[in-house]
Amino acid sequence: MRFWLTGLVWALAVSMGAAHAAPAEPSQTDGKAPKAAYISLIIDDLGQTPDRDSRALALPGPVTLAIMPDTPHATDFARQAHKAGKTVMLHMPMDPATGPYAWRPDLPLPELEARLNAALLKVPYAAGINNHEGSRMTAEPVAMSWLVGELQRRHLFLVDSRTSAKTVAAAEAQKIGLASLSRDVFLDDDRTPEAITGQLQAAIKLAHKQGSAVMIGHPYPVTMDVLERELPKLKAQGIDWIELRHMISLRGNQAMAGHGKNGVYR
């Protein structure tokens, strides 16, 4: 019964915000490209520098802002972003990331819980979390199982940044029906204008192929240069840039082809 009520609360929340959006097209299962093409954008690593934070906040659309708890401006920027109507996420440090909030495989569950609680206090208005680094931590089934259950209890969503092919975070979320997504494209592993533009175009092609793409970038000046120039062109390329909650609703917790098979995370 609690799971059913949780799902109902989430469904009502996303449907109120997504009432204007077209119905989601199914994932590519019959060899034909879907008609709809949606993109969501997350900017990670925020809270460190006011100038970079402000530039990310000013991007012209429904950008999601992922704020690190161990940064000097985390709380102030979370409040500023919430006031501006943006979706705020906790960008949770996970091993190999270090620091007072970072999750490590050697820590007991009570300590993981304490660190999550402290991090959420530092990033008010967080609607969900995604992992900062975490290539080792997100491969830990016990910890990820506890995490997704705790996020469901708190009515928060999960974005698996997929920093490792061994991640089980999204798979654990799918098992219990937690509202979640997986990242499809990192924009700026290579910090050159040409590479970032190429990654953005790759995300656009992927969205046309499978119906949607979730992008993650960072507040590097070069990334902001590309996004400020290219994001206003998305509509002309047949892309609807949608808020992250809308993307969660549209995908319905189904794994994309790059993350699993027949909608199930592997």
Q: For residue 99, give the DSSP letter.
A: S
Residue 32 binned pLDDT confidence (cut-offs 50, 70, 90): low
Residue 69 burial (CB count, 10 A)? 26
pTM for this predicted structure: 0.87
Residues 156-169: tens digit of each pLDDT: 999 999 999 999 99
pLDDT in tens, 58-115: 999 999 999 999 999 999 999 999 999 999 999 999 999 999 999 999 999 999 999 9
Q: How many residues does the chain have?
A: 266
Among 148, 193, 199, which Cα is nearest to 175's?
A: 148
DSSP per-residue string spanning 145-204: HHHHHHHHHHT-EEEE---STT--HHHHHHHHT--EEE--EES-SS-SHHHHHHHHHHHH
Task: Name all domains of the chain by residue range, CATH numbers in brackets.
Answer: 2-16+34-254 (3.20.20.370)
The answer, yes or no, to whether residue 34 has pLDDT greater than 70, is no
